Amino acid sequence: MIEIIDNYLPEDLYRKTKDVLEGNTFPWFYCDSVLDPTDPQSKSGDVTSYQMTHTFYYRWEWSSQFAPLVMPILEYMDVFQPLRVKANLTFKAEENYETGWHIDFRLNNKPQKCKTALLYFSTTNGPTLFKTGESADCVENRLVVFDNTPEYSHTGTMATDKLRRIVLNFNWIDY
């Protein structure tokens, strides 16, 4: 089941996070592919499939000085054990092309039983599509939660109406 919650975060927490993510001092890092380069669907090196990312947490370790920015969100989400917390930034494209079907979290190339959530920080015409046929429009402060399973493989689509599309991506163990 895909759960969509609008106006998810309290306005003050949302605004504080958005201001930092959109600020000119937040460190974004270039990735050749929107997907993990080891994913068979990856278009690594394709000039239409790059993004900027910032990893806050990955596999039991905080990896960012900006960890305090997302810790209150994890607490608000009632996440006990995160697996990965990452911000994704894509730029305006000529077409709403799909970035590639995938699931978010694998270990040793095997899907892991966990939850995935997307928290949008932009309203754009670049929805998230699911193999189930469902979709979630990219709307500011919307949280989309689903299982990290092949059934819920998903793909982002590039926005054509805004300069940037910012999404916080969470993967966690759900007890």
Rounded to 5°, angle at Cα 143 from 84 and 68:
45
pLDDT of residue 47: 47
Return the pLDDT at 103: 87
Going from N- to C-terminal start, the domains of the chain cover: 3-19+50-167
Mean pLDDT score of the chain = 90
- pLDDT for 99: 86
With bands split at pLDDT 50, 70 and 90, how would you rate the model's confidence at 112? Answer: confident
Q: Is the pLDDT of residue 36 over 80?
A: no
In the block, residue with structure tokens 């689903």 = 146
> What percent of the chain is predicted at pLDDT more than 90?
74
What average pLDDT does the segment 92-119 reach?
A: 86
Predicted local distance difference test score (pLDDT) of residue 77: 97
**The CATH number of the domain covering residues in 3-19+50-167:** 2.60.120.620
DSSP E strands: which ranges in the chain?
Answer: 3-5, 29-31, 51-58, 61-62, 81-91, 106-107, 110-111, 115-120, 128-130, 135-136, 143-147, 154-156, 164-173
pLDDT single digits (tens) 40-85 = 444 444 445 679 999 999 989 999 999 999 999 999 999 989 999 9
Residue 32 has pLDDT above 90, yes or no: no
Q: Determine the pLDDT at residue 155.
A: 93
- d(CA 132, CA 140) in angstroms, rounded, equals 23
Res 42: pLDDT: 41
Q: What is the maximal distance between C-alpha atoms in the chain?
A: 42
- At residue 100, the pLDDT reads 85
- pLDDT value, residue 41: 47
State residue 48's pLDDT score. 56
pLDDT of the residue at 175: 75
Band (pLDDT 50/70/90 cuts) for residue 97 is confident
